[in-house]
Amino acid sequence: MNRKPINYPLMSVSCLYEKCNDDAVMIIDVSMDKVIGKEPIIYDELVTIPNSHFLDINVDLVDTDSAGVHSFPSQSQVNKVINKLGISEYSTLVLYDNQGIYSSPRAWWIFHTFGLSNVFILDGGLPEWIKQGYPTSSEYLTIDTKNVESLVNVGSDVISFMDSCFDARQLVSKQEVLINLTDKKFSVIDVRATARFNGLVDEPRQGVRSGHIPDSINLPFANVLNGNTYKRPTELRHLFSSILPEDSKRVVFSCGSGITACIGLVALISSGADTRLYDAALYDGSWSEWGSDASLPIAKSKI
């Protein structure tokens, strides 16, 4: 199946500052309370980018009917978010989080998978916005339901548009990953820290084994970042070309529970024209699913 080209997913803080008063631009904070895999940035009080909405991706963009951790949302849940925020086919969404780059790539991949293409990640997020000296707020924007009714394509028209654009190939299942151990149809990149990947430390979630999916490649998500922002495309191209097999075309990203895997996924997409030829996907269950299933094989470091 031929896939539509993916737009460059990142927007700089300077670009957002120029656009922040544009009515078509919707700024959304998708920060998460719990941060795993990095030292969290702590705020003494609520700090936001002016005119931004808050979307709790732990609630609004998680499949509550699934037993998995942070499972990908259902179509109906995404439709509810679209209507709740008043998103139309013509909206430009800019997603950010208060850790720089952490949960915003996850929200971006969800929206992209369900057909919204005019969506961007604020490169560097709130920390970079503050670093550059742009104004901040201490509250979120509240949707006026009366105004929502007047927006173009809100409701069934938008839902119909989303239904027709869902791309199931952007997700892979546990069974597909298991079959791939034999078929070798895609490469798996695990973005967890090296000690976790090698099984040298206990997993943070109870009942989850230590180690990694056999034949997977370790690329800690911190390696695609330069502080709070993504590394430059040339650096990312070199990084991925140094770890991926020359004949690799499909690349599946994994992590602990499907959140930080999207950091690596977006890094591959934003690395430039050459690597956009890769067919990128997310193993949503990630290690929390694989490591919990005693019937599945695991690998550990021989150190």
What's the rounded Cα separation, in Å, for the pair 13 and 130?
9
Among residues 291, 75, 57, the alpha carbon closest in space to that of 174 is found at 291
Instruction: Please enumerate in sequence order all residues whose Cβ is within 8 A of that of 302, keeping only pairs 6 or more positions apart, or say none.
Output: none
10 Å CB burial of residue 17 (0-12, 13-18, 19+) is: middle
Whether 255 is catalytic is: yes
**Euclidean distance between CA atoms 212 and 220, whole angstroms:** 13
d(C-alpha 278, C-alpha 151), whole Å? 36
Q: Which of 15, 165, 255, 262 is catalytic?
A: 255
Could you count the other beta carbons within 10 Å of the beta carbon of residue 279? 15
Q: Which amino acid is at 54?
A: F
Cα distance between residue 111 and residue 262, in whole Å: 12
Positions of E strands within 123-267: 171-172, 187-190, 217-218, 225-226, 229-230, 250-254
Token pair belonging to 167: 């791309």
Structure tokens at 65: 């009917």
Classify 270 in phi/psi space as left (phi over 0), alpha (psi -120 to 50) or beta. Answer: alpha
Strand 229-230 with 225-226, pairing: antiparallel
Unique residue bearing structure tokens 């949707």: 143
DSSP 224: G
Catalytic residues, by residue number, are: 255
